[in-house]
Amino acid sequence: MKHQLDWSSYESAGQGDAYAGIPATGGNFAKAVAVCISDRLCQRKPKGVMCPSYRATDDPAHSPGGRVLVLKAALNGELGDTPFADPRLAEAMDLCIGCKGCKRECANQVDMAAIKIEYQAQRNAALGISRRERLFAALPRLLQHRALVRTLIRLRNRVPLIATLGELWLGISARRTLPAPSTEPYRPPASPATGERDVIIFVDTFARHFDPAIAEAAHAVLSAAGYRVTTLGPAAGDAEPDRPLCCGRTYLSLGQVDAARHEARRMQAALRPALAAGTPIVGLEPSCILSLRDDHLKLGLGPEADALAKQVYLFEEFIARENDRKHLQLKLKPLPAGKTLVHGHCHQKAVGAMKSLRKVLRLIPEFEFEFIEASCCGMSGSFGLDAEHRDISLQMAELDLFPALRKAPDAPVLANGFSCRHQIREGAGREPMHVAILLRQALA
Ligand code: SF4
Ligand code: SF4
């Protein structure tokens, strides 16, 4: 088996353990699968928050441990010569939304999200890539024609016949609206950057094209806190100097590993000077930052990727860190009274950023908030937009998130993830905001 991802970090996993149950084929990928010891703790009741697909279906086959059994069978040759094209494996992996709940909560840290990327890449190689997955993955590139994309999406959202045709031709649920790009993309402020310390903002595809107010707010807050803020652009010599940088997340989550690697290399080149100067890099979208901190390490990009991963922060992580170091000169005022509900993106939880978010929210005088105890919102990138996944995606949100929102119908909602905000907007009719927007509102 020719791996699409670099699994060398599992080289010694299970070595010398006669009971590790390492499958006969698959090399280090098989070892990554075999770190699951099949103790079924991910199927225990009362169920924890680990695996949303298991919780929503109540079917052990859709738990991390259930998936491992089929993967092991596939790698042991029990599903024939082309296991990655086998519908039994497809069924086992179908509802894994890559939330990394298992990597965080399983005692053996089974990384099913990464395993799913490898699976999907192998499946793409065996069966080809569907039109829908090509389209969703290529979003960062398509947005070079943002006016056209915006017009088409708005038209599709308004005209049911087009949405129905989109479902028939592409498999995008007609019962979903699609997020439309904003009128204008993000543009950094024209005034020169001032401040004592350097920080670089990485404006991801979603903030740049859909929610530029978030990037503007982050810029304003960091400037107000005393930082010399610049935004990251392509490196000198980049083959596409006019195309904004992208972490490759959309490609990676759909198993298009070569395209993701290409985007990651562009990022790596652009970040080289920041790495040499030790300048922190701040991102806004949890899944993009997780790509840089975790997924990029499996793309075979060399030791520089490890060094970069240590220099990249989520906005709230950076604010919390700088506050701890007494570097922050942020003057905040109280906001209108009332408790805000906070929904964490599953990748925010995976990188342990919820603690930082709590610290940052405590910086706002008299601010009341409550974290919603929930696993993934169920949207997970484009998963919840798929015709066949729309219902289960909403069921995942109904496990904890939507009931918590219904209990406090007037509470403002904070959600840092782009797809979480879309799910909340669609399924609960609320308009969530990013923490950067909240902090900007609280600037004294
Ligand atoms: S995924 Fe983790 S919790 Fe689930 S069976 Fe395997 S080892 Fe146990
Ligand atoms: S990544 Fe999330 S959905 Fe997939 S198996 Fe792990 S916990 Fe379940």
| β-pair type (312-314, 227-231) | unpaired
Instruction: For residue 109, report the distance from its CA to the centre of ligand 1, in Å.
Output: 8
pLDDT tens per residue, range 373-424: 988 999 999 999 999 999 999 999 999 999 999 999 999 999 999 999 999 9
Q: How many percent of the chain have pLDDT more than 70?
A: 99
Q: Residue 39: nearest ligand to its CA? A: 1
Separation of alpha carbons 174 and 178, rounded Å: 9
Q: What is the DSSP letter of 33?
A: H
Nearest by Cα to 309 from 183, 403, 121, 301: 301
Separation of alpha carbons 205 and 185, rounded Å: 10
250: which 2 tokens? 């959309």
Q: How sure is the predictor about 49, in pLDDT bands with cuts at 50, 70 and 90? A: low
Q: Which amino acid is at 107?
A: A
247: which 2 tokens? 């972490």
Would you say 376 and 105 are in contact if contact means Cβ atoms under 8 Å apart?
no
Q: Residue 56: nearest ligand to its CA? A: 2
First to last CA, the chain: 58
DSSP line for 174-192: TTS--PPPPSS-----SSP
pLDDT tens per residue, range 83-135: 999 999 999 999 999 999 999 889 999 999 999 999 999 999 999 999 999 99
Is the beta carbon of 378 within 6 A of some atom in ligand 2? no
Q: Which amino acid is at 179?
A: P
Q: Domains of the chain (ranges plus CATH)?
A: 8-127 (1.10.1060), 131-170 (no CATH), 197-322 (no CATH), 331-441 (3.40.50)
Give residue 48's pLDDT.
59
Q: What is the DSSP letter of 136?
A: H
Would you say 319 and 439 are in contact if contact means Cβ atoms under 8 Å apart?
yes
Q: How sure is the predictor about 140, in pLDDT bands with cuts at 50, 70 and 90? A: very high
Q: Residue 102: nearest ligand to its CA? A: 2
Average pLDDT value over all residues in the chain: 94
Is the beta carbon of 64 within 6 A of some atom in ligand 2? yes
CA-closest residue to ligand 1 atom 1: 65
Residue 380, burial from CB neighbour count under 10 angstroms (0-12, 13-18, 19+): buried
The rounded radius of gyration (Å) of the Cα atoms in the chain is 22
Separation of alpha carbons 263 and 265, rounded Å: 5
Q: How sure is the predictor about 18, in pLDDT bands with cuts at 50, 70 and 90? A: confident
Nearest by Cα to 100 from 386, 319, 375, 372: 375
Is the beta carbon of 427 within 6 A of some atom in ligand 2? no
Q: What is the mean pLDDT of residues 161-165?
A: 98
Is the beta carbon of 51 within 6 A of some atom in ligand 1? no
Does the pLDDT of residue 337 top 90, yes or no?
Answer: no
358: which 2 tokens? 């709590």
Q: Residue 33: nearest ligand to its CA? A: 1
Give residue 46's pLDDT.
63
Instruction: For residue 68, report the distance from its CA to the centre of ligand 1, in Å.
Output: 9
Instruction: For residue 139, report the distance from its CA to the centre of ligand 1, in Å.
Output: 34
Distances (CA, A) of 368 to 338, 340, 353: 7, 6, 19
Does the pLDDT of residue 4 top 60, yes or no?
Answer: yes
| β-pair type (197-202, 281-283) | parallel
Query: Where are any strands of DSSP class E within 83-202?
Result: 197-202
Residue 332 bridge partners (DSSP): 443
* Ligand 2, pocket-test mutation among 59, 100, 117, most atoms within 8 A of CB: 100
Is the beta carbon of 65 within 6 A of some atom in ligand 1? yes
Give residue 290's pLDDT.
87
Q: How sure is the predictor about 271, in pLDDT bands with cuts at 50, 70 and 90? A: very high
SS3 call for 339? coil
Does the pLDDT of residue 47 top 60, yes or no?
Answer: no
Dihedral of the alpha carbons of 387, 389, 395, 400, in degrees to the nearest 10: -120
- Spell out the alpha helix ranges (H) of 225-314: 249-253, 257-277, 286-293, 303-309
* Ligand 1, pocket-test mutation among 31, 38, 43, 50, most atoms within 8 A of CB: 38
Q: What is the mean pLDDT of residues 151-176?
A: 98
Is the beta carbon of 26 within 6 A of some atom in ligand 2? no
Is the beta carbon of 64 within 6 A of some atom in ligand 1? yes
pLDDT tens per residue, range 284-325: 999 999 899 999 999 999 999 999 999 999 999 999 999 999
pLDDT tens per residue, range 232-268: 999 999 999 999 999 999 999 999 999 999 999 999 9
Q: What is the DSSP letter of 313?
A: E
Rama region for 367: left / alpha / beta (φ>0; ψ in -120 to 50; rest): beta
